[in-house]
């Protein structure tokens, strides 16, 4: 019961990694604010969890929406203990030379500036909590060259943002960390049949990730088990950054 009586705000919590994280936090005793721009998905999950779950409409690209969601938590509970930031995403991109400024700005706004908006809005409440933690979900794309330059650049910026905040707010006893997943089985792959089967060959552990794999790491970093860990980016990637087996075999055969 690592989150017993803790108030936990989770963005992107209606589906996928966010929903798996909300279920785990709730299962460990947490009071969960399920924040998502897909309000119907947030409401479905809140009904599933029942007691100690609150659905919130929250678009991280809109400051007023973020501020209103945090204000609702303040009004309802009077405090906030953990902030978990899952909302983000990528989009199909042309070749680098054909990428328009607007698409870059949209992806950076969603994946980097949106995280800043949430932290900025939540910080006054977090500074009042004796167990405050912030965990952002990034991607291995922010740690190595996997294409998708705009998405990768935003995720790389996220790690630097969190490191800076970890130092700035260390005296407040707030921890700031990042989890960087590899490929995870979420609904974005539903219309790409065979893709996950093909991608598994690039993972030394022989499979892509499940949302619960990422939720486990997020909840560790958000809990008291990680009270002396701050400013880190933790890859949760099935060994992808270490290198796939076929590359190893080519190098040493």
In this structure, is residue 2 part of a structural domain? Answer: no
Please report which confidence band the pLDDT of residue 249 belongs to, taking 50, 70 and 90 as the band edges: low
Q: Distances from the Cα of 236 to the Cαs of 13, 212, 216, in angstroms?
A: 19, 11, 10
> Per-residue b/e over 7-18, b at no fewer than 16 CB within 10 Å?
bbbbbbbbbbbb
Query: Residue 137 pLDDT more than 70?
Result: yes
Gap between the Cα atoms of 253 and 134, Å rounded: 44
Where residue 252 falls among pLDDT bands split at 50, 70, 90? Answer: low
Of 190 and 15, the structure prediction assigns the larger pLDDT to 15
Q: What is the CATH number of the domain that holds 231?
A: 3.40.50.720
167 lies in some domain = yes
Q: Which of these ranges, 18-22, 94-98, 163-167, has the smallest mean pLDDT?
A: 94-98
**What does the block give as tokens for 122?**
């939540």
| pLDDT number for residue 128 | 98
pLDDT in tens, 71-95: 999 999 999 999 999 999 987 778 8
Distance CA 246, CA 20 (A): 32
Per-residue pLDDT, averaged over 120-138, amounts to 98
Compute the distance between CA of residue 79 and CA of residue 96 in angstroms, rounded to an integer: 44
Residue 200 lies in a domain: yes
Phi, psi of 62 (to 5 degrees): -125, 110
Indicate if the pLDDT at residue 246 is higher than 90. no
* Average pLDDT in the chain: 94
Question: Count of CB atoms within 10 A of residue 202's CB?
Answer: 19
Q: Residue 248 pLDDT > 70, yes or no?
A: no
Residue range 127-134: mean pLDDT, rounded: 98
- Residues 75, 90 contacting (CB under 8 angstroms): no
In this structure, are residues 45 and 29 in contact, taking their beta carbons and an 8 Å threshold? no
pTM listed for this prediction: 0.94
- pLDDT at residue 146, as a whole number: 86
Q: Confirm whether 1 is domain-assigned.
A: no
Could you confirm whether 151 is annotated as catalytic?
yes
- Res 24 pLDDT > 60: yes
Whether 162 shows a pLDDT value over 80: the answer reads: yes
Alpha carbons 33 and 82: distance in angstroms, whole number: 10
Report pLDDT digits (tens) over 199-215: 888 899 999 999 999 99
**180 part of a folded domain:** yes
The alpha-carbon radius of gyration of the chain (Å, integer) is 18
| Full domain range(s) for residue 110 | 7-252
Residue 37's pLDDT band (boundaries 50, 70, 90)?
very high
Beta bridge partners of 133: 82, 175
Residues in the chain: 253
User: How much of the chain, in percent, has pLDDT values that exceed 90?
Assistant: 81
Structural domain includes residue 168:
yes
Residue 100 has pLDDT above 60, yes or no: yes
Q: Of the residues 16, 43, 107, 151, which is catalytic?
A: 151
pLDDT of 237 > 70? The answer is: yes
Total tally of structural domains belonging to the chain: 1
CA atoms within 13 A on the CB side of 73: 35
Q: Does 47 fall in a domain?
A: yes
The tens digit of pLDDT for each residue in 46-71 reads: 999 999 999 999 999 999 999 999 99
């Amino acid at each position: 019961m690592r989150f017993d009586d803790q108030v936990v705000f989770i963005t992107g919590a209606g589906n996928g990694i966010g929903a798996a994280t909300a279920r785990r936090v709730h299962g460990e005793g947490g009071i969960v604010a399920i924040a998502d721009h897909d309000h119907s998905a947030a409401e479905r999950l809140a009904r599933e969890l029942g007691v100690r779950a609150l659905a919130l409409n929250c678009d991280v690209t809109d400051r007023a929406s973020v501020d209103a969601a945090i204000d609702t938590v303040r009004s309802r509970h009077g405090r906030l203990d953990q902030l978990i930031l899952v909302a983000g995403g990528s989009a199909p991109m042309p070749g680098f030379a054909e990428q328009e400024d607007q698409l870059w700005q949209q992806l950076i706004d969603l994946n980097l500036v949106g995280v800043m908006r949430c932290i900025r809005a939540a910080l006054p409440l977090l500074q009042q909590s004796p167990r405050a933690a912030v965990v952002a979900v990034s991607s291995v794309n922010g740690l190595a060259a996997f294409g998708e330059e705009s998405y990768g650049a935003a995720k790389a910026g996220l790690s630097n943002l969190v490191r800076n905040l970890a130092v700035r707010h260390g005296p407040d006893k707030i921890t700031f960390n990042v989890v960087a997943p590899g490929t995870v089985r979420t609904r974005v792959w539903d219309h790409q049949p065979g893709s996950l089967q093909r991608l598994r060959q690039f993972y030394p552990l022989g499979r892509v990730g499940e949302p619960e794999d990422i939720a486990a790491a997020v909840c560790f970093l958000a809990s008291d088990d990680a009270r002396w860990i701050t400013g880190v980016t933790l890859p949760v990637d099935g060994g992808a950054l270490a290198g796939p087996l076929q590359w190893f075999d080519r190098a040493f055969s």
